[in-house]
Amino acid sequence: MDATLQQGQGPQGGLPRPSDNWELVHECLQQFKVTRTQLQQIQASLLGSMEQALAGQAGPASSVRMLPTFVGSIPHGTEQGDFLVLELGATGASLRILWVTLTGTEGHRIEPRTQEFAIPQEVVLGTGQQLFDFAARCLCEFLDTQSVGSQGLQLGFSFSFPCHQTGLDRSTLISWTKGFHCSGVEGQDVVQLLRDAIQRQGVSSIDVVAVVNDTVGTMMGCEPGVGPCEIGLIVDTGTNACYMEEARHVAALDEDRGRSCVSVEWGSFDDDEALGSVQTIFDLTLDRESLNPGAQRFEKMIGGLYLGELVRLVLLHLARRGVLFGGSTSPALLSRGSIVIEHVARMEDPSTGAACAQEILQDLGLSPEASDVELVQRVCTAVSTRAAQLCAAALAAVLARLQHSREQQRLQVAVAIGGRVFEQHPRFHGILQDMVVLLAPDCDVSFVPSVDGGGRGVAMVTAVAARQTAQRRLLEETLAPFRLSREQLVAVQTQMREAMAKGLRGEASSLRMLPTYVRATPDGSERGDFLALDLGGTNFRVLLVRVTEGGAHIINHVYSIPECVAQGSGQQLFDHIVDCIVDFQKQQGLSGQSLPLGFTFSFPCKQLGLDQGVLLNWTKGFNASDCEGRDVVCLLREAIRRRQAVELHVVAIVNDTVGTMMSCGYEDPCCEMGLIVGTGTNACYMEELRNVASVPGDQGRMCVNMEWGAFGDDGSLGSLGTSFDVKVDQASINPGKQRFEKMISGMYLGEIVRHILLHLTSLGVLFRGQETQRLQTRDIFKTKFLSEIESDSLALRQVRAILEALGLPLTSDDALIVLEVCQAVSRRAAQLCGAGVAAVVEKIRENRGLEELAVTVGVDGTLYKLHPHFSSLVAATVRELAPRCVVTFLQSEDGSGKGAALVTAVACRLAQEAQV
């Protein structure tokens, strides 16, 4: 510690020689020089402290706090209404009240009405009740000058001190800073203290909605049009920053989606190793004489409350060493607080600085020479330059954190800046900006000055909260019909059981309950080579399946079905199929061989025998003429005859659901139900033959193809349908049909989501109410997007990328809402599917008179397999609705191909056994 600073003594042995002056000045000012390496060390140390605090790891009391502010959204520009703002602590010992009118229209801005009140020193250092009563009285005085009437007003409370916030309107003061020291407030909820004080004034029309840090207010008040502003930076009496962090990284929030504004509270940063090398004897003296020695050390090197005092201590030191003012001091120069940031800013002004310095020094009772004025300006420059450089290092740490959390190679971001140091100091902003470019070269940063000193931003936080509340209500109302209760699911299960019983008896029912003539599942003894055909969508497959003791080995080739063929004539379609078979036989060297063939035909058929199936109606976008009502095996055989020189032995026509059950039955003998949830949906199961009225015989079992996609076509599901389901149905190629399928399967879920998004956009909940032509395009929102968007492993940034690729100009809020819509639609689909499975397994259990049934369900389909939560939701629903059934779900490996071959293999085995 310098003796002259410590003891306040004058120079010994007279004034120094002029040649010594330069060395003394250089020695003094050199302490404020900061190297790039030192700044990088501070940046790295601060970043480490930030990440430690985000993770909830206990650090030293002097580390940054990373406090959640519960502000989860930045403005959209559509916010509107009248709002009150009460600012405390943003501008020293004063209190400001604003009436802010937001128009919700870009470019149309109404200047806020504002009034500032000086806080008496006895209140600043008095009791908490004194302070809040003073604030409430000022509020009443302000409102008396406005035409309020009985209008209820929402108030945003800007409270610019370190707080622990537990909600948007709940905040506990951690510690006073900036010269305030009111008793009975630390550890208390400051919002409740303000509410109590307002109540004591007899005012009931004010609702305190949000408590906001001035830094958050600065960020939120950023003018629209500069792109998303996601960092706020204040350098006023104190200094702080905030930014929008990914919520999943904030341990204190326990949230995994969206973003949340975090207040860094970097004024408390105090890494001895990083700061020790840049701290001067003047910093140490200032800290020791402050109201909070040892605390807020970083803030004391940057904040406006302290820069003037640092300058005063340097000038006093140089005067006592005889370098300044002829070795003279003055009572003012000896008094704390006599030089303030406004003085420093004025003395550094490039054009008027010298004259201002002369005037300010004279007002301090000093008689400066021209050389003194120049030296004082150099001192001011050294102190403020260091402050701007340290601030830049801290901001670079925030930028690095933001860039890492967004996983972006190059970050583009706007930083809202506010506070008197920015507003008044001529060079602070420029120094900061230049240093940020050096310390954060991978970041494109634009600096945006705050509006109304952050007051508008506090109103904006309040307005955003109001907007989000309204949007949440509209979103909940829209999605409510998709959130099915247990009672609704039990009703679906009951209705399906009734429809199954009617269909089996041959009565009118939306479930056809078609016999498949598959009388057994594989027993493991099947052997041989089999061909399989798989037609069920836009692709058609031909397979060679070799069933050996070691398992089933498959070779297959995929052929496309052009749309013109799928919707042309039946002859054209089946000729194309035979051409594909011939091509495959040539590839595999099978030309001329007549292998047993199983034909997976994944459309509703009435089977009259294992190799006889009458097409009831096309689905999945097929509409080939002259096929409905005809035996598709005959159509295939006719095409084979037209091709000539081709010999094919068609043994079985197989539904893809049956194939799935048989494929899984080869792996697990307990598999007695098949389920498909892909482009379409269907189920089959092993029913007691005595219950199948359309097939003679009472012994044994038969696989029944439910064709459950048509469940509810009789209107029984009407209460579950929404206006969005109606729109999807009306726009489909088969209105009024396949109602259950249209609520479950992959062909339709994306369209349901698209119609919901259109509706929410029209309500102003999504995309700022701006409808895009892209969203009007049918089938633009593929069901695969639901699987991708709902993936737990995808960060919100990737969700946004998926949606932006669709041409949807969205915000993080929009991405979260789209996610919630997708979840509601897919959850309903999975629960309806689960209710259907529960109905089937309960029927099997009752058929066999069992107290408890253990059964396996073979499953296939892209929606079931690829959606991250669909399978678990189906299983959970089955457990809830069929508690006496232990159901295992086994995913099929090539059910429609391998399954068709196994149906053929089982049929061949049974035929051989019958001959024996």
Residue 306 CB-density burial (10 A; 0-12 exposed, 13-18 middle, 19+ buried): buried
Q: Is 752 helix (H, G, I), strand (E, B) or coil?
A: helix
Torsion of CA 692, 697, 700, 704, to 10 degrees: -20
Torsion of CA 817, 823, 826, 829, to 10 degrees: -110
Q: Is 427 helix (H, G, I), strand (E, B) or coil?
A: coil
Residue by residue, what is the 3-state secondary structure of 187-214?
Answer: CCEHHHHHHHHHHHCCCCCEEEEEEECH
Residue 115: phi, psi to the nearest 5?
A: -145, 135
Cα 846 from chain centroid (whole Å): 46
Catalytic member of 656, 729, 813, 894: 656
Q: Where are the beta strands (DSSP E) in 610-743?
A: 612-615, 649-654, 671-677, 681-688, 701-705
> Among 646, 58, 59, 31, which residue's Cα sits nearest to residue 282?
31
Name residues whose C-beta falls within 8 Å of residue 767's C-beta, 6 or more positions apart in sequence: 761, 808, 809, 810, 814
307's tokens? 């820069």
> Among 435, 392, 416, which residue's Cα sits nearest to residue 226?
416
36's tokens? 């790039």
Name residues whose C-beta falls within 8 Å of residue 407's C-beta, 6 or more positions apart in sequence: 795, 797
Distance CA(622)–CA(158), nearest Å, equals: 63
471's tokens? 């949007």
CA atoms within 13 A on the CB side of 583: 13
> Among 132, 216, 114, 247, which residue's Cα sits nearest to residue 180?
132
Q: Is 541 part of the annotated catalytic residue set?
A: yes
Longest dimension (CA), the chain: 130
DSSP string, 221-253: TPPTTS--EEEEEEESSSEEEEEEEEGGG-TTT
Q: Is 118 helix (H, G, I), strand (E, B) or coil?
A: strand
Q: Is 602 part of the annotated catalytic residue set?
A: yes
Distance CA(805)–CA(765), nearest Å, equals: 20
Catalytic member of 541, 701, 800, 827: 541
Residue by residue, what is the 3-state secondary structure of 52-86?
Answer: HHHCCCCCCCCCCCCEECCCCCCCCCCCEEEEEEE
Distance CA(588)–CA(901), nearest Å, equals: 17
Q: Is 656 part of the annotated catalytic residue set?
A: yes
The sign of the dihedral angle between the CA atoms of 299, 302, 305, 311 is positive
CB 741 within 8 A of CB 679: no
Catalytic member of 63, 158, 602, 812: 602
CB 499 within 8 A of CB 711: yes
Task: Give the residue carrying structure tokens 């970043």.
Answer: 47
Distance CA(355)–CA(360), nearest Å, equals: 9
> Among 399, 57, 402, 403, which residue's Cα sits nearest to residue 252?
57
C-alpha separations of 646 from 420, 502, 574, 637, 640 in Å:
90, 43, 14, 10, 6
| Residues written for the chain | 916
Distance CA(579)–CA(105), nearest Å, equals: 63
Distance CA(313)–CA(329), nearest Å, equals: 12
Residues labelled catalytic: 541, 602, 656
